[in-house]
Every structure is written in structure tokens, then in C-alpha cells.
Structure 1
């Protein structure tokens, strides 16, 4: 457990003690006590309903179910919420970007950064920020505690007296202190020095020779390829798997070798998949992490916000960057720049995002029906990259037309290192269960196309083994994870592993459960400790000034909009909880457990106040 950040909120420690009072000391249940009930008869389940023990059920509908309508597409693309054809307004799942605009929380007096750290401002009267330190201190909110996360980590705090923990590094004369052993931020956060990269991009000072070489080849080859496919279409012949890619460009770059097999994988998650959340998941043992989805076009334009998504914490020892693109030229150039300038272990092409604003522009799952573009993007990326290329995809645009399996031989012949298949279509979103039967057929096809003489005759000689294959969808317990993985060992191609998304958002300790192969009846106190860790990580990542504190608060609320869905193991009547089940209304084993189960966003803000002090009056959180 990390060091607890002291709180100035009145009676906060007493609040926490009373809320968690009565918590069971036995948090990790044995395999015998949990697993003996795992495969309870299906007739004990109500379809779509998660049953809790009678003593925890609420008989009357007294809860405010403000946010009970889940919208899990919110984790797939930034700033976009799913809309349906219904005219009835719902509080959750239909809050559009304009409704979700958050007020940026600053100090009431915007103090100059130079003055905050005891330096002189060269702008003088032309500075747009205040130089009146006494006026600022008179208006500044109380410190949140005696330990500054920035100072504790780096040996100095760049926010000076603006820090909400400023007493930790300010002496009696008001001077800012610096520890004897001062460390640089890039020793903890990699890829944080992107200003020089952005400058080089804008000044075109980056060598993209291999991209230019490939693009020249591809432009001519695309014309020939289309002519060849048109001829086959006229003859009404079905192109055999791989036949479209008979011409291969120059040999690809030598690549870093990565063994994906047997590893747990945290899905790329927009907004909620930030560095603090990924660090929490790393603390529970996840092996592979990936950035939030970045737009290749924006990276090429030198967008600072987009380049910030490439940052990686030192604890992420197997880390990838996911890109969205609809253009072989842009994608190839972006991959070459990333592989030269950024510290990552692999680069992933997003072929799964279902959000309309993405698919209408040809990104995400729309690529499933643009095989020529996919071929160009993958061939180009493999040609220029010094790290492995992977893809994440859905099964198709609709359930009636499952076409994901057609991408597998194409991707294999392009030389991708890993394929992840999410067993849902674009149209399906999260309304039905993931199709694991089809996912496993895709896994088998990877092996079949690899060994079939009729399908593999054009596989280039530099592709020496089939890609690692990950399934994805609806895994919410270690039993579901290992049921799929262990079952796959009897098939022609075992799963390399399973990518976990929503399960990790609701219970990031699922990775601990997966490694130990047992459920964890985690206490509310232990979950609060997890949120304390997130708070510390957030203040290290986004800053310890007022803006950093409330940015941490905002992203904690984003996470709590998923985290509240977890139902404690100890109060369930039927095990395990499944991702698509909605629990009966219940109370927890103590007040804190009950509060953590609330679907009311006002209660999520209350939880942040336990860790970050009182929220500003103007602070509001509107869930997706």
C-alpha cells in the first residue's frame, strides 16, 4: 500500500474508519470456498439479473438509479457518446460532448509560475498572470496534506507555492526546497519530452526514407492490385486467401522480438486508460499495457495533446501504442516516426472502434471492409517499424456479415506479430454477449491458413511463424478467462491470452485473480487503498496544483462510473458475476461498500472528496 496522503477535510479519517467498520478481515477466499460454487446450475440465475444474498437485498426501490444505463462505448473513443433512435432521454449513454464539457478548475487568482517557484518573471507588467503573492496566498485553499507527491518523487516541486501540498517543500522564509538527490521526470515517465519531436515534425527534420520508399512502391502496386482483383471478379472467381498480396515490398526492418503468449493484456481504453489507471493495473500484475487510442493524422500534425498519449510509466515493461488511421501513407509515416523517436514495444492498429464519428471517416471497425487499405497500412508499418505491429479488430460491421476471419490471412502475410479479435460487431456494440465461438473459429483459422498449402503459397519467407492470437470480450472473472484459454489448448491454435477491458475497469484486481486462479473478495477498505494509489499516481502525472488536483478528481470520476458496477463476492448468491448482469438492488456489508456501489455521480464526487478534499462548488461530473 502506498503512503496515505493526509487530508484536511474535517473528520475525514473518522469518516473512513466508520464507513469501513465491520469489514471482514478475510479478503482472499480460498479456491475451495469460492471455486466449489463457480459452476452453479444455470437455473439458479435469472437471465440478465445478478442475484445477491437475501440479507443484502433492498426490498423497496429506494436507490437513485441515475446512471443505471451502461454505455460501454464510452471507453472506445474520446468525446463521443452512443446515441440510439429512442426519443426518450436517458441520463447515461446519451450525454453528448457538448453536455460533458468540464469546467477547468484553476485557482481564483492565477499566479505566475515563475513567482510561484521564487524566480523573477522576465515579462514584467506584460505577464498575463498575477505577481501578487500575498493576494494569492490569502485566496489559496488549504493544503491537502503534509506529503507532496511531486516532491516525494522528484526531489522538487515545479508548482512551488501553487502546490496544494506546498508546506512539504517550503521553508520558514517561504523559499522552495530541493532535495539533495534530485531526479528527472523522464526516469519515471518515458516519452515525456515530445516538444523536440513536435518541432522536428513541423520543420520536417525527421528521416522518413523507408516510408517514402514504401509509399512509392505502394502507389504503383495499388493500381496493379485493383486491376488483378477486378479481373478475378469478372471471371466470378473467389480470390483464395492471401492471393491478393502476391507482391511484397523490400524486406522489413529488423524487429525487436516479443513473446506475447501466456500474458495478460489490458485493453487500450480511451479516457479511462490513462497512466494512473494503467499503473493500478500493473500493481495487480497485468503483463501487457497499451496507450489510449491516438489519431495518426493528429500525431503527424504535431498535436501536443495527441503526443501526450504516447507517454509510458517506467513500470510498464511491455507497452504498446495504439493508432487509429484510415490512410496507408499517414499510418506508415506515423509508425516510422514512433519507432524512431518513442520508447514502445509494439504498435497496434485500431480496427475495432465502433463509434460513428470514427467509422464514418473510415477509421476503426470500418477498416474491416477496406482490405486494400488494411493491406497497405500493415505492409507499410511492418516495412518501416523497428518494433512489432499488431491489430485489434471486431468480427464485422454487423452480426449478419461476420468478416473478421478474412482479415487474419491478410494480416499474417503482412507480418503482424499479434491479432486480437473482439467477438462483437460494430452494430452490436455491447447489447449482446461476445461471440466466443466465432472468436475461436478465427483462432483456428490462423493455424489452418498457416499450414494449408493452398492458402499459404504467397506467405513471404520473412514471416516465420503465425501471429499470437488474443480473444476479447465479456471476461469478468478468472474462471471465464481460464475456461476460454484452457479450452483453446485442445484446439489447433491455443489462445496466447485474453485482452481484458471492461472487466479491468470494474475490477482491476482481475489480473491478480487471473494469476492466482481464484476470486478475491476484496474489502471496501482495500478498494479505498486502491483509490488512494490512483490519487497519488494522478497527482504525480497531472500535477499537485489546483488544476492537477481537479484533473485527478475528474479522471477518478470517469473510472468510478465503471468501478461501481462491481458487486462484492461475499454478498453474491451465485458466482461468479458476469459482465452483462445487472445486480438486484443491495446494501453493502458496511457504509463504505454501499457508497462504492452507488450509481449516482454525486456519490462518486463524495468519494473523491475523501481523497482530494472538498470539490469546488463549480465542479460537476456528467457521465458518458
Structure 2
């Protein structure tokens, strides 16, 4: 499909009559105009809470009622392999410098290009999106659009004149296989974090000794002078160095997102007005062990920098220190390093990571200090929830300690507890209270002549932001510098355009389809235009559509504003394409991908994350 130019946007005025019409449907159900309702269906069930709840991540047996709800935990997303595997040394017939280290006779992969082409599926029609974007195709003869840039008579690939063939073109923060090998063998020097860890270990030892004593012993105890001297000596050497300055005031921020928050999605969001993006959450231990899959997460597109943050999760200060130094040393395009203290999933919580740190503030503070000491000029930030239990919010007191005992550059608060997950609305009154704490701290710092050069600590709210009204209402609070948007940016990727325009934009179906097309092109540039790359692009585009299909066009709603947690009854769009884009059947999602990625082959499979989408179309 050709690139669709931006159509004229039809804004829906906030004072339109529809805003005052009371919905005819019960609470929690989206108020769709009568003429767009499909009679006889059932209300959609996405259930974000159930998809991430503990009973669906702990292996508990499901009841019959839950059979079609929650998360498909055991979905197999592996794709079929090619019949003939071609050796990488012959993928680009133009490059005569590449040689197979094993030789054609001993190599376990094929060197016969003609045999490979004969067994290869028929080309996808049209011009190769990667070739069109960068002037050559890194996938070579494996490209699914090969006919658009291959001369069968000469056996050579077409390339635009003067094009620079650069590995990982446009992408940054790649590290070499040799460096990963050093990490795996524990041979990469990390002198800063080694010393920081010794200091933090000594602090833990002294604190553990004090905590094991009775009150009387603590009062009469004379601590080990060597340990205390070592701790104070090391502490005097480790001060947070000069950090790059952040500016999150009124910044348009996309939250770190699992699975869908990949590089192509973040790149798309940058084109739609986002100022700050984050990597998917990376685990600190696999990072310092040189895991290929974990080091894929800090990669970014050059358009994301500055304003790209890497988020890590850990429960150990030594892991945090080494991961911070590794990222500081091995990457070049990271604006901040964010500690995840909010993830609610059981896998992390049981290991003391994510939201478990909310109940262990001393450990959290130790990790944040270690990260700040070890991260060089990269500033450290933290993301937290209100608390673990619904009735025991701890964020207000915790933020006071973070401000007074660490050097974080920003704090983000998700206005829910771990127990709450996605049930009930985010508590923005509580977020405002914590924002006031940060505001007071910044004002005190300004009055302190000794700390006049220290930049302010930014405070960011998070939770249920789905409209420009939500965003502007939040930032109008003096204590809240910005809003981090998560599901709102998945369901409605143009949310920051609405924030900028301060009005609802009734995007046409063709405009929305154009965003999916742009995502598909970015995905092919990232994963490649060969069979593997096309299948990866298709899979992640389906994951993206599993959120975008939930968008209800504002033009068919009885009243505004739309609410993030309202579920629609069955509805039809104003045209066939709008109806298709709103389908909750994953087989329709695959049909949409075929508009840009060609027909899905027999080897492609996709099982949706949410069981409510796994049904046969009637």
C-alpha cells in the first residue's frame, strides 16, 4: 500500500450537543450512538487486570468461567523455518569480500543461491519497503520483495548510487558479539562498580550488625572501627558525578511497555509527537551476563535520542551497579537509566524485584545510590507504585526518603497499588499529594545556597491518561511536571497530537491504517525483509493491533470524553475499513497485516495474548 498523506483532521468540538447526551448503557460500557450498535452481541472483554493478575502468572488451574478470560500463558510464537538455509556469506552476491569460514563443502548451510531461489516462496508484490527507505536491502537474496531490487541475468542486487551501506543503519546502542562474550566470561573490566559494590557491601554488613542487636546492646555497642572507617572512606570517594540534564517539564512521555514497546513502536510514537521513550524492561542479571535477548532491549532508533531511557529491574545492588556501568560504557545514546519499582507480575515480585522493592526501601535506596555512582553522566530515575497493598500506600513517605537520600533526577508514580493492578481508576488525588512533596523539596533546594547548582527533581504522574483533557488536567497541578502515558498511547497512538491541539481528533479509518502501515515499514527495517523479518513484523503488528482495535472513533460516541476502562458493545464503523480496524477477532488482525506484509504463509502462527480475542469468527 502506498504511503497515505495526512487527510484533513475532523475535530470534534468539546461543546458539541453529544457531550450532554446521557448514555443509554450501564456504567462501564462505552456509550455508542444507536445507529452504530450491532444488536444481539455481547460487551467486549479485554480485562487488562486479569491478563496480568497473579492467578494467571502462577500456574493456578482455571475454572470454567475463566476459560475464555485472562492471558494465553502457553502461547507458542515460534515460526516455521525455511526449507533451505542459506549461508550468510552468500546472502549479498554484490559483496565479494565475504568468505565462509568453513568453506562451501563443509558449511552446514547452503551456498547454492539458485536452489534457494527455486525453493523460496513467491515474492510479495510491490517495492521492498526497506530498499525504498535506505536505498539497498540488507536481507539480500532472502528478501521477500526480491524482484524489486534483483537482476536475475547478472545475479546481482540493485543499489542506489552512492548509498552508504552501514550495518544497523539508523539504530544505536548495538554491542558486538566479542563484547557480549567478554561479559559472559566475566572478563569485561568494571572498575567503578567493583569499588561501589565494596562500599555498599560494607554498609550492609554494618547495618545488619546493628539490626541484629537488642536495644540495650545497640546503645552500648562500639562498632568495628575498621568497617566503619572503610564505609566512610569509600563514601567520601563516591559522589554522584556531573550528570546530563533532563528536562521533563510538560514532556510527552511514553511509558516503558512490555512486548509492544519495541523499537518500531517507539519510532512511530516519535513521529507522532512523543518527546521521551523507554526501552522495554531489561533484567539486570542477564544484561551483565551478556544475554543476546536482553541486550536487544536497550537498542534504539537514532530519532529517539535525546530522550531515550533504559529501564532495568533488579533486587540486588551489585547487579544494579554492574548493569549501570555496562550501559554507561557500552552504549552511546541513553538519556536516563530508570529503575523499575512498580512491575506487579509475580515472577519479579517473588525475586524481590519490581514492586517488591516498595516494601524494602533500604534496599531500593541502596540500589539507586549504586546506580548513580556507577552510571557516569547518565542520570538515574525511578518508577514506583502507590504501594503493595490497597490500604497501605507508602509512596509519600518513600518519595521523601528518595529525595533526601539519593540523587535521582526524576520520580514517576503510577497511581495504583500492586494489589489493585488495573482494577478501579488511578488515584490522581494521591499522585497530587506526592507531587506536592517533590515541589516542596525543590523549593527548599533552591533556597539552599550550597545546592544552588543542583537541577530540580522532576515528578511524573502515570495512570489512565487517555485524552488531552486528562493530560492537561494533570500538568495544571503545580507539583506534577508531566504525565507518562501507557495504554492510552497503545490504543490511540496519536494521543500527543491531541495533547498539542487540545482537542479530540476524529481520525479517519485511512489515517489509522496509515499508522499501521508506517509501523510495518519500521518493523521491516528493524527485523529485516526476509522470511524471519516479515514473520516478526507480522507478529508484533498483531500485538499492536490487539490494542489499537480497542479504539472507538469519537464520531460514533454519544458523549465525550471517552474513558479508558469503558468496554464497547458490538458496533460497526462508518465504513467497512473502520469496522475491520475495530474487530476483536485476531484473524482480522492478520488480514490487516496482509495489506502491508503480503499473505501470511502456512508457517505463520499467532495466538493472541488475551483469550477473549481467541475465537472463531461467526
TM-score scaled by structure 2? Answer: 0.87
Q: Does structure 1 residue 208 correspond to structure 2 residue 198?
A: no
Compared CA separation, residues 600 and 288, structure 1 to 2 (3 A)? same
The SS at the match of 2:506 is coil
Compared CA separation, residues 82 and 402, structure 1 to 2 (3 A)? farther
Matched-pair contact (CA < 8 Å) for 1:270–1:292: yes
Gaps of 5+ in 1: 6-23, 237-245
Tell me, in whole angstroms, the C-alpha distance in 1 between the residues paired with 2:397 and 2:355.
14
Name the residue aligned to 2:437: 445
- Give 1:376-455 correspondences, 5 Å limit: 376-385=366-375, 386-412=377-403, 413-448=405-440
Tell me, in whole angstroms, the C-alpha distance in 2 between the residues paired with 1:169 and 1:281.
30
How far residue 409 of structure 1 moved from its aligned partner, in angstroms, is 1.9
Q: How many residues align?
A: 581
How far residue 610 of structure 1 moved from its aligned partner, in angstroms, is 1.5
Tell me, in whole angstroms, the C-alpha distance in 2 between the residues paired with 1:600 and 1:416.
44
Matched-pair contact (CA < 8 Å) for 1:319–1:345: yes
How far residue 444 of structure 1 moved from its aligned partner, in angstroms, is 1.2
Name the residue aligned to 2:316: 327
Matched-pair contact (CA < 8 Å) for 1:446–1:466: no
Name the residue aligned to 2:494: 509
Name the residue aligned to 2:203: 221
Instruction: Provide Cα deviations, 1:395-424, integer angstroms capped at 9, x if missing partner.
Output: 111111111222212222301001110011
Name the residue aligned to 1:347: 337
Tell me, in whole angstroms, the C-alpha distance in 1 between the residues paired with 2:215 and 2:358.
19
Matched-pair contact (CA < 8 Å) for 1:321–1:347: yes
Residue in structure 2 matching 1:188, options 162, 166, 170: 170
Name the residue aligned to 1:483: 473
Tell me, in whole angstroms, the C-alpha distance in 2 between the residues paired with 1:233 and 1:225.
14
Tell me, in whole angstroms, the C-alpha distance in 2 between the residues paired with 1:228 and 1:143.
71
Matched-pair contact (CA < 8 Å) for 2:52–2:345: no
Matched-pair contact (CA < 8 Å) for 2:91–2:141: yes
Residue in structure 2 matching 1:104, options 79, 97, 101: 79
How far residue 132 of structure 1 moved from its aligned partner, in angstroms, is 3.5
Name the residue aligned to 2:224: none
Matched-pair contact (CA < 8 Å) for 2:412–2:459: yes
Matched-pair contact (CA < 8 Å) for 2:253–2:275: yes
Tell me, in whole angstroms, the C-alpha distance in 2 between the residues paired with 1:355 and 1:189.
30
How far residue 295 of structure 1 moved from its aligned partner, in angstroms, is 0.5
Tell me, in whole angstroms, the C-alpha distance in 2 between the residues paired with 1:470 and 1:42.
33
Gaps of 5+ in 2: 219-230, 610-618
Matched-pair contact (CA < 8 Å) for 1:269–1:501: yes
Matched-pair contact (CA < 8 Å) for 1:28–1:522: yes
Could you say what the CA RMSD is over the residues aligned between the two structures, in angstroms? 3.2
The SS at the match of 1:583 is coil
Q: Which moved more, 1:525-534 or 1:247-256?
A: 247-256
The SS at the match of 1:392 is strand
Name the residue aligned to 2:599: 614
Name the residue aligned to 1:259: 247
Compared CA separation, residues 515 and 231, structure 1 to 2 (3 A)? farther
Tell me, in whole angstroms, the C-alpha distance in 1 between the residues paired with 2:507 and 2:390.
37
Instruction: Provide Cα deviations, 1:195-239, integer angstroms capped at 9, x if missing partner.
Output: 243133235454422212221111111233355567898999xxx
Matched-pair contact (CA < 8 Å) for 1:391–1:419: yes
Matched-pair contact (CA < 8 Å) for 2:273–2:496: yes
Compared CA separation, residues 526 and 88, structure 1 to 2 (3 A)? same
Matched-pair contact (CA < 8 Å) for 1:83–1:94: no
The SS at the match of 1:375 is helix
Compared CA separation, residues 81 and 73, structure 1 to 2 (3 A)? farther
